[in-house]
Amino acid sequence: MSEFFEDVTNLRSRLAALQAEHRDLDLAIEQICASPPDDELLVRRLKKRKLALKDRISLIERMLEPDDLA
Supply the pLDDT for residue 68: 60
**pLDDT under 50: residue ranges of the chain:** none
**Cα gap 54→37, rounded to integer Å:** 27
- pTM, whole model, 2 decimals? 0.77
**Cα gap 21→48, rounded to integer Å:** 13
Neighbours of 22 (CB within 10 A): 17
Supply the pLDDT for residue 1: 66
Supply the pLDDT for residue 24: 97
Supply the pLDDT for residue 4: 77
